[in-house]
Amino acid sequence: MERKRASVWLGELQRSMYAWHVSDQLLREHQGLESCYFAAQTMRTKIQYAFHELPVNSHQSLRDSLLDHGGKLNAESPPAIVTQLSLALADLALQMAGWKDPIMDLVQRYGSNPQNLPFLLEVLTVLPEEVNSRSLRLGANRRTEVTEEFRKSSPVILQLLDACGESCVGDTKGQMKIFRCLGSWFSLGALSEELIIGSKLVTAPFQALVIAECPASLHEAATDCICSALYSVEDLKSHLRLAEALYNGVKTLPDAYHMSVALDDTDKSINYCRIFTELAESFLEQIVNTPNQGFTGDLGILDLLLTCVGHHLYEVAEITFNVWYRLSEELYQRHEDPAIETFKPYIQRLIVAMCRHCQMDQDHDGIPGESDDFGEFRVRVSELIKDVIFIVGSSNCFAQMYENLKQQTESTSWDVTEATLFIMTAVAKNILPEENEIVPEVVKAILSIPPTAHIAVRYTSIQLFGELCEWIEKHPDYLDPILQFLLAGLQEPKLASAAATSVQSISTTCKGKMRDHFQGLLNIAQAIDTLHLSNEAIIGFLKGTAVILTQLPVEKVGEALTQLCSFQITPLSSLLTKSEDHKLPSHIAHGSKEDPTVWLDRLSAIFRHTTPVITNGQVHPCQTAVQQIWPVLSETCSKFQSDIRIVERCCRCIRFVIRCLGKSSASLLTPLVTQMISLYQVHQHSCFLYLGSILVDEYGQEQSCQPGLLNMLQAFCVPTFKILEEHNGLRNHPDTVDDLFRLCLRFVQRAPVPYLQCQMAKPILCCAIAACPLDHRDANASVMKYLTDFLACATKKEEKPDFEVRKNLVKGLLNEHGSQLVHALINACLFCLPTFMSADIGEVLYELMIVDRPTFCRWLETTLKSLPTESSGGVVTATHKQLTDFHKAVTSAENYKQVSTALREFSRLYR
């Protein structure tokens, strides 16, 4: 308890203004490791996040103080303190515009004293790294300025590192610091290429890597340095000479890689593989464009990668995956047969190697798992093969794997067979459904697998049948024997879930041909809890069954649905009775049969996929089933109203019931809305808001329903605004924000005029303005979509007679709040939201501009004039010209994408 109190107190101290003085004093007194680390870390945090607290006239004294503290550090100083002080000094240099040429100052102050060199190298390492730090928010202008300053200082850096290299021969720690620093400067792209090419520094890391006795830590530092250098030359045309120097360096490493493999030094093998991969990444475009033309198109680079793919450990092979993804993307974009033919042999070798890597241990006695590291690797292999398979062709791959199967003898271990089937499973979906040569042979071979075969082989065979669903649909003769094979799998606990998933895939794809099997599936559904299936597999099975149910004659759908639902409603009703009698355990185990969500999820799956075709005037065949289950759903919602998990699943189920019935669910509308309003007053579960949006979507255009739905909105808004107006209410309740604006969006789309005329339209707009800075992805997207469609009411005529009414109502609200909205959108984009969210804001601004362009121009000008143009450190964030250019770009835009692009570029000035 005391430690917790102390931690809270220290946290408050770090946030206070006193922290500046206290941390400086602690560093001066140097009383112990913990106090010095706390002080250094506090100083760094304050400079990083609270630099604005300091008046400009104290910046120089802070710099001098930090330089003094740094001067007291030496090779024996604790690394943690060195790092924190280095970061503090680097962050200060970047934010303090008045500190001109900090690199030269640092080198002059510390460069001549060997004791200070470790600290100097650390500062020079972190300085380039911090230029792109998100937390500093330097802005594009400052980043450009300091990068140019650093580029001018690079001769001094190279000279210093060269001199350090001469004096650090045999000093592992010293060489590591040099490589780390050099790599950092490569990453920023701030080194003079002419000077680095003629320097020993470009060859030094390669020379370290070819020494068999190179210490592991130095090996990794040299690798990081080379990878940074290779990354920096990705634009080959601009860095051709450096790229060639690095290429020549990499070509010296294959023998060292083979030695690491022979010595079973996995860490070093991984390092070499990283370098080969980074080389391939940087050269890939040229390799594809001009294969085997010059060093930039050297196909031998891919041979190097495949050498690594051939390593006995899959962890090494996995490092190369992104190159193959990118290669497939490049070839797919070009869609040129000659290029594909060039790279086909490489992909064939890759697939063969992946097949070997996917082999399980021979002593493994269960099914393949997906949750452990190896299982996750196999999933990634499957995704990779699906991505690259078009290069070699699915049928060719399938044929190649089938040849492997045919060549296997009785002495072939099961793991080889299983891995081969696994690769076939990855490409099965891509097989042309009309294929008549290889697939029938494979299917027959699998159907003849004896029950005594290893369970992993049978498991993967079951999965393969599921993936072949499109082929099976075109070859109905195989449907019955395959179903028999899968139904046999359902009887075995370890195979049951996979079999259920494959049955689902086949049912969904072959729904027309599965109609005759519906009764059998219904029988399985009735006994499904006697099988050893996961809840996920059961839901999948029910989904497939519901899809087939939809294929039945309309007059049979109702009875079949009632039966299917009864298997879920009976146990759910039993739970409600137990709840009344207090016989349910106080803590319900999630996923157990005493968990109502199990049965609700199953009902959701059934109704979600039951979509019978109804002709005009026909009574909906699902109404009878719904009338039977509605009282149980309603009671479940009431009984478990305090449990958000159960209520959410209940609302989800009701949502799919309503979607299934469509307008035929009208009889549920009044009791449902009444219950939702009543429960929401007590428990503000946002799922009620979402369910409300479904009702508005279905009934919003029905004039007779609009008053009741608007009353529902008002009843929801009162408690919703109350929780959102709390301190940090929007941030603490993003789901509520998300669902509230989904609901309002449906009103704007389905009943715009009644909604815009209601008294809630104005406070909802104010709430949307307040929510603009909310950095929750889904919630913010819902707010922006609402604002876009709200504004579109005044711009989209759609030949509807109420356009002028809509336009005037929107303009009336904007006259009062339009300026606030522009201010909120611009500030949110610059200071609160990640860059990818700017597209949505751009769309809102564009719609706002279309409503009234002259007024919008004034609002935008006012907002831009209020923006800070200089940081507390004297750094210029945005020039007058940049502000003017942005205003012009937005106000002259012809579509929202142009606004989003301008916004994204402009926001870089403040990040």
pLDDT in tens, 441-496: 999 999 999 989 999 999 999 999 999 999 999 999 999 999 999 999 999 999 99
**Distance from CA of residue 56 to its chain's centroid?**
41
Does the pLDDT at position 423 exceed 90? yes
pLDDT tens profile 445-454: 999 999 899 9
Does the pLDDT at position 580 exceed 90? no
pLDDT, mean of residues 855-880: 92
pLDDT of residue 4: 60
pLDDT class of 632 with cuts at 50, 70, 90: very high
Mean model confidence pLDDT for the chain: 93
pLDDT tens profile 733-753: 999 999 999 999 999 999 999
Give 370's Cβ-side CA count (13 Å radius): 8
pLDDT, mean of residues 783-800: 89
Does the pLDDT at position 9 exceed 60? no
Does the pLDDT at position 571 exceed 90? yes
- Quote the CA–CA distance of 603 and 183 in Å, as a whole number: 57
Query: Does residue 763 sit in helix, strand or coil?
Result: helix
Does the pLDDT at position 34 exceed 70? yes
pLDDT of residue 14: 67
For 516, other C-beta atoms within 10 Å of its C-beta total 10
E strand or H helix at 793, and its extent? none
Does the pLDDT at position 825 exceed 90? yes
DSSP readout, 215-227? -HHHHHHHHHHHH
Work out whether the CA dihedral 613, 614, 615, 616 comes out positive or negative: negative
pLDDT tens profile 191-206: 988 889 988 999 999 9
Place of tokens 């362009």: 853
pLDDT of residue 184: 97
Give 104's contacts (C-beta < 8 A, 6+ positions apart). Answer: 153, 156
Give 772's Cβ-side CA count (13 Å radius): 24
- Quote the CA–CA distance of 397 and 401 in Å, as a whole number: 6
- Quote the CA–CA distance of 468 and 470 in Å, as a whole number: 6
Does the pLDDT at position 840 exceed 70? yes
Q: Give the single-character DSSP code of 855.
A: H
Does the pLDDT at position 11 exceed 70? no
Give 334's Cβ-side CA count (13 Å radius): 17
- Quote the CA–CA distance of 113 and 117 in Å, as a whole number: 7
Q: Supply the pTM of this predicted model.
A: 0.89
pLDDT of residue 407: 77
533-549 burial, b for 16+ CB within 10 Å, e for fewer?
bebebbbbbbbbbbbbb
Does the pLDDT at position 581 exceed 70? no
pLDDT, mean of residues 262-275: 97
pLDDT of residue 217: 97
16-55 burial, b for 16+ CB within 10 Å, e for fewer?
eeebbebbbebbeeeeeeeebbbbbbbbbbbbbebbeebe
Q: In the numeric block, which tokens belong to residue 615?
A: 């002709």
pLDDT tens profile 278-312: 999 999 999 999 999 999 999 999 999 999 999 99
Q: Of 489, 551, 557, 492, whose CA–CA distance to 517 is shortest?
A: 551
pLDDT tens profile 659-676: 999 989 999 999 999 999
Residues 454 and 494 sit within 8 Å (Cβ to Cβ): no
Does the pLDDT at position 582 exceed 70? no
For 96, other C-beta atoms within 10 Å of its C-beta total 23
- Quote the CA–CA distance of 458 and 402 in Å, as a whole number: 16
Q: Report the percent of the chain where pLDDT is more than 90.
A: 79
